[in-house]
Structure 1
Amino acid sequence: MNPQEFVRIGGTELDIQRYELRRAGQQIPLERLPMELLILMASRDGQLVTRADIVRALWGGNAFRETDNSINTAVRKIRIALDENPDHPVHLTTVKGKGYRLNGTRTFSEEPSHIPVEAVRVLVLPFENKTGDSSEDSLCDALADETSANIGVLNPERILVIARTTAARYRRVNKSIAEIAHELSVDYVLEGSLTRDAGRVRILAQLIRCVDQVQIWSRAHEPMTRGALDIQKEVGTALAQEVSPALAQQQQHMLARRLPVDPLAHDAYLRGRYFWTRRVHFDAGFAAHHALNDEDFIRARSYFESAVDRDPTYALGYVGLSNIFGSTATHGFYAPSQGYPKARESALRALALDANLPEAHQALAGVHYFYDWDWQRAEAEFLKALRLNPSHAETSRLYGRLLLVLGREAEGRAQFELAESVDPLGCEGSRVFGLIQSGRYEEVIREYLTAGTGIDRR
């Protein structure tokens, strides 16, 4: 079941992505376990769900306590929420000695009454380096990545941005905008490049509407450092004008809060983000083969420190430092007791500067998840980040892993499906790692054998 689908059960609507149950537009309170069970049964499309299925899905098949009473209580609460007569239930029926069946469900691809317009999908292609200087490759990659992040917070309900890892697959690929739009189902594509003209580096960018190949916005900026800020502000305004003109001024103000006062601070942040991303998203075998080591972390930290030195009010610079301190501990370069307290301090500093910065909430969630083992606080920060930017696939991936570890399989599966919709080419590894963390080794081995040979060995 797609997490962006809505299930109608009689007069009640189940919104899987928002994890909400509503009737006549009013939210119906439902605790975690009953909600998990309801999502599980809705995903079976009227099929029988046995009690063994429920235990396996909600407790990972390894329940160390009595589950019968918990299941009975959850079923009773679902029936109350669905406004069922417990003596004569219509939708949630009991199959004696077997389990339960959810009847009369209807699935919609968009919310029947609350989402009038589907979100547009935007792809920011890797910026092309035409300067002849390979040292500018890092800036090209990071500029595209940060532009994606900035667009993602403009209007989360109306603009969905395809993630960096998927966009990176189209670097130097000889495909037309129409072909890319067809493969990824995107509505707009932003192309960019760096060129050198008479010793000055210039940024060129254009925003293309895919349905008719019309260029709705284009700019050339110099010098480069100021242009990086201007492009991100202007492309956001152009998209807002296309999607909802009344929001353009509001989006311009929002972007201005994310960007630093000093353009050189932003330039340093972009370069730091490139080196951090290059190292942290590769597994140990790949890193060893390509001689990627802690040098990238050292470079990234130096750039992030330079960014906050130049502009101490630049919240994203502190997010970068939080990412560095946390990832170096996670990857074994420093003891967790050394790295994570600094990661926490930097994340909190970023939030003090901008409480609505999704990357800062994700950074703090990572500290709660990997260091504090405080699942409740980690989940709260993940949810804040996703409310501010649902297009941030990395947040959905990490949150999905946390949910799998907690045994909340239906929710975790929904988060990974959401991440895959935003980042269709870059999500599988994180999902498999989540399965490993939750102890589902046989499932991981089975998927590996199936993917590696094309033969399902089950």
Structure 2
Amino acid sequence: MSPEQARGLKVDARTDIWSLGVVMYEVVAGRKPFSGDTVADVINSVIEKTPAPLLRYASDVPEALEWIVSRALRKQKDARYQTANELLFDLKELKKKIDFAKLTGEITSPAVMPARVPASDAQTDVLAATSTYPSSAEFIVTEIKRHRLAFTVCLLVLVAGIVGVGIYLKAGKTEIAIESLAVLPFRNESGNTDAEYLSDGITESLINSLSQLPKLSVKARSSVFRYKGKEVEPQQIASELSVQAILTGRVVQRGDELALYLSLVDARSGNQLWGEQYNRRLTDLLALQREIARDVSSKLRGKLSGADEQRVMKDYTANTEAFRLYLNGRYHYFKLTEAEIRKSIGLFQQALDADPAYARAYAGMADSYRTLPIASYVPSKEAFPQAKAAARRALDIDDDLADAHIVLGWVGFWFDWDWTGAENQFRRAIELSPDNADAYRGYAQLLSSLGRHDEAIAMIEKARALDALTLVIQALEAQYLFYAGRDGEAIARAQKVLQGDSTFWLAHNILGRIYTRQERYDEAIAAFVRARELSSDSPEVITQLGYALAKSGKHEQAQATLKELRLIAAEKYVPAYSFAMIYNGLGEREDALKHLEKSFQEREAQLTFIKIDTRWDGLRAEPRFQAILRGVGF
């Protein structure tokens, strides 16, 4: 009876492997690995105790066989051999070594038995009494247990028995090619939140590596991290993400020691396809990441071609400390507050200090700098040039980094107003990484701003197909439909987002925009008020609310939003574009144009919307407005 059987837990093929481990132990040691005076004692031994080393009972046991048997007998299913084929492989390798040793005279007599200590009959009877539910492995090797042949002959019999077990376990299982995979966020079981960056970082690195495999769709980080910290059945994940397999992991850090447990699961049945445990030192983190990428890839695709293996195991740095700092930087970046993004930039710089040729660290830094003005944390001029410089440096080192091309795409049209150059960057990113939803999302934004609405909607639909659960992609689809004049579809899409998460403020904000254009001002104002509550008084939402209030005739309340923005601007950045929009709603043309010109001087990203935003229609004939349009590249 295996530990999981004794505890009343679910059993699977790995239970058979444990049973076979019991038999192997008894054949070599001449006694059972778990004993006790009563059934309860034996069950407790199975659950809690580790068998004595085989060397205690058989002095000639090779260290390799000791390891094989101990791995088959591990308490946790995830830590055992995951398939009979894995166990068979190790035994065959050991057999080859023994055969070679016999030929060279290192083993003189295969008929000599290792010395054994006999087990008591009472212990044998107790263990037999607990084996109420014999496994297939136990049945197959029953005849093996009746004989005590020489050590090497015993090993050969065990190998033959394992072959039978492997055939049995594989029978009835339909082998299918895995074409879609979700790598779920690895769990940090270190009892220390400081190690959280490791579990998140290894997950993201593995996603990036496996995405290089041909004909394998790997779900994006943004899709899978919504499951972080949640217990969700594989079948539910399979349904929501449309994947065939799921890779899960657990990370345990104790000082400089690192343990990682991986499990590849059939998403439809919940059955484990493969699993492995890795024990390394933290200083071996980089080598561990490569080893995991290789092992998982081989399980998904069998033998890799040289080119595929090179892509999957590509090294961006040989410096383990630089890699660790990079992972930590990405961890802080994804918190997406201004303070955390700035912290990520510092960590990327430390990674570059350790390895000045680390292209991924430059790309990470570029992404962080790009995000600061997009989130309106800082003026465009304060961060976009740094983002551009870091992305350029990354591509100088490695021109195949899709993430760096994406950053240059965003900077190209939001800051440089180089629409053709930006489009080329997004195209290049998609060429390099066809399953990168962020590339399609950026390209969709550019196309929408240019008024190429059908193309924009097609691109954001591709992004949604790749990253179906990311709310911002769904909300942006509603925005692009709105700019295309397809209000009904835009409302339906925004409402669908809110059905999934009623607290997602961007969807409320977009609904408010649609209602404002339809002159449904009460509904618009209500939507903006809700968005403001959920966004913690975002200046973006206050801007939209102020314009709607002005257009509805509530000029005093609109003026109050201007006052609020001025107070906020005394403490942090507020785009001049925001003031221009509210003045525009109030009909104060001169103030609106003055702030638009200031926005132009600051090269604010918001100006890229003026071609398609119908709220500016009343000013389009103004020469000063036309000059701004030309300056932005329209």
**Which of residues 334, 337, 341 in structure 2 aligns to 1:297?**
341
8 Å CA contact retained: 2:209, 2:313: no
1:260-279 mapped onto 2 (5 Å cutoff): 260-279=317-336
Q: 1:196 to 1:323 in 2, by over 3 A?
A: closer
Q: 1:149 to 1:438 in 2, by over 3 A?
A: farther
Instruction: Find the counterpart in structure 2 of residue 391 from structure 1.
Output: 435
Higher RCO (Cα < 8 Å, 6 or more apart): 1
**Cα-to-partner distance string for 1:366-387 (whole Å, 9 max, x where unaligned):** 2112111222111111111112
State the alpha-carbon separation in 2 of the partners of residues 356 and 119 from structure 1.
Answer: 26
Instruction: Find the counterpart in structure 2 of residue 314 from structure 1.
Output: 358
**Cα-to-partner distance string for 1:229-273 (whole Å, 9 max, x where unaligned):** 5334533554256336342x3233224444311111111111111
Could you list the runs of 5+ residues in structure 1 that have no partner in the other structure?
Answer: 1-116, 280-291
For residue 167 of structure 1, what is the amino acid of its counterpart? V
1:77-88 mapped onto 2 (5 Å cutoff): none
- Aligned to 1:174, the other structure's residue is in SS state coil
Instruction: Find the counterpart in structure 2 of residue 55 from structure 1.
Output: none
8 Å CA contact retained: 1:233, 1:252: no
- Aligned to 2:335, the other structure's residue is in SS state helix
Instruction: Find the counterpart in structure 2 of residue 177 from structure 1.
Output: 234
For residue 131 of structure 1, what is the amino acid of its counterpart? S
Q: 1:141 to 1:421 in 2, by over 3 A?
A: same
1:374-389 mapped onto 2 (5 Å cutoff): 374-389=418-433
Tell me how far 1:142 sits from its aligned partner. 2.9
**Cα-to-partner distance string for 1:319-373 (whole Å, 9 max, x where unaligned):** 0111122222333333322322221111111111111111111121121121112
**Which of residues 191, 199, 203 in structure 2 aligns to 1:140?**
199
8 Å CA contact retained: 1:207, 1:235: no
State the alpha-carbon separation in 2 of the partners of residues 120 and 229 from structure 1.
Answer: 26
| Of 214-223 and 414-423, the range deviating more from structure 2 | 214-223
Q: 1:242 to 1:119 in 2, by over 3 A?
A: closer
Tell me how far 1:198 sits from its aligned partner. 7.3
Instruction: Find the counterpart in structure 1 of residue 259 from structure 2.
Output: 202
For residue 301 of structure 2, what is the amino acid of its counterpart? V
For residue 352 of structure 1, what is the amino acid of its counterpart? D
Task: Give the TM-score, by structure 1 length.
Answer: 0.63
Query: Does residue 129 of the first structure (1) align with residue 180 of the second (2)?
Result: no
**Which of residues 281, 286, 289 in structure 2 aligns to 1:231?**
289
Q: 1:437 to 1:376 in 2, by over 3 A?
A: farther
- Aligned to 1:394, the other structure's residue is in SS state helix
| Of 410-419 and 434-443, the range deviating more from structure 2 | 434-443
**Cα-to-partner distance string for 1:71-110 (whole Å, 9 max, x where unaligned):** xxxxxxxxxxxxxxxxxxxxxxxxxxxxxxxxxxxxxxxx
Q: 1:428 to 1:311 in 2, by over 3 A?
A: same
1:14-413 mapped onto 2 (5 Å cutoff): 120-155=179-214, 158-197=215-254, 200-210=257-267, 213-216=271-274, 218-227=276-285, 229-236=287-294, 238-239=296-297, 242-243=300-301, 245-247=303-305, 249-279=306-336, 292=337, 294-413=338-457
State the alpha-carbon separation in 2 of the partners of residues 136 and 422 from structure 1.
Answer: 30
**Cα-to-partner distance string for 1:190-248 (whole Å, 9 max, x where unaligned):** 1111114576232222333446634335241422353355334533554256336342x
For residue 362 of structure 2, what is the amino acid of its counterpart? Y
**Cα-to-partner distance string for 1:4-25 (whole Å, 9 max, x where unaligned):** xxxxxxxxxxxxxxxxxxxxxx
1:438-453 mapped onto 2 (5 Å cutoff): 444=490, 447-448=493-494
8 Å CA contact retained: 2:188, 2:199: yes
- Aligned to 2:415, the other structure's residue is in SS state helix
8 Å CA contact retained: 1:304, 1:318: yes
State the alpha-carbon separation in 2 of the partners of residues 405 and 443 from structure 1.
Answer: 19
For residue 224 of structure 1, what is the amino acid of its counterpart? L
**Cα-to-partner distance string for 1:430-453 (whole Å, 9 max, x where unaligned):** 334545677877865565467658
State the alpha-carbon separation in 2 of the partners of residues 238 and 433 from structure 1.
Answer: 39
- Aligned to 1:362, the other structure's residue is in SS state helix
Q: 1:337 to 1:441 in 2, by over 3 A?
A: farther
8 Å CA contact retained: 1:206, 1:218: yes
Tell me how far 1:150 sits from its aligned partner. 2.2
8 Å CA contact retained: 2:410, 2:422: yes
Q: 1:202 to 1:334 in 2, by over 3 A?
A: same
- Aligned to 1:203, the other structure's residue is in SS state strand
State the alpha-carbon separation in 1 of the partners of residues 416 and 177 from structure 2.
Answer: 38
Instruction: Find the counterpart in structure 2 of residue 81 from structure 1.
Output: none
Could you list the runs of 5+ residues in structure 2 that have no partner in the other structure?
Answer: 1-175, 501-514, 519-634
For residue 120 of structure 1, what is the amino acid of its counterpart? E
**Pairwise CA RMSD:** 3.2
Query: Does residue 422 of the first structure (1) align with residue 466 of the second (2)?
Result: yes
Count of residues in correspondence between the two structures: 326
State the alpha-carbon separation in 1 of the partners of residues 255 and 329 from structure 2.
Answer: 27
State the alpha-carbon separation in 2 of the partners of residues 137 and 300 from structure 1.
Answer: 15
Instruction: Find the counterpart in structure 2 of residue 21 from structure 1.
Output: none
State the alpha-carbon separation in 2 of the partners of residues 436 and 267 from structure 1.
Answer: 43
State the alpha-carbon separation in 1 of the partners of residues 422 and 392 from structure 2.
Answer: 14
Q: 1:258 to 1:392 in 2, by over 3 A?
A: farther
Q: 1:399 to 1:128 in 2, by over 3 A?
A: same
Q: 1:198 to 1:268 in 2, by over 3 A?
A: closer
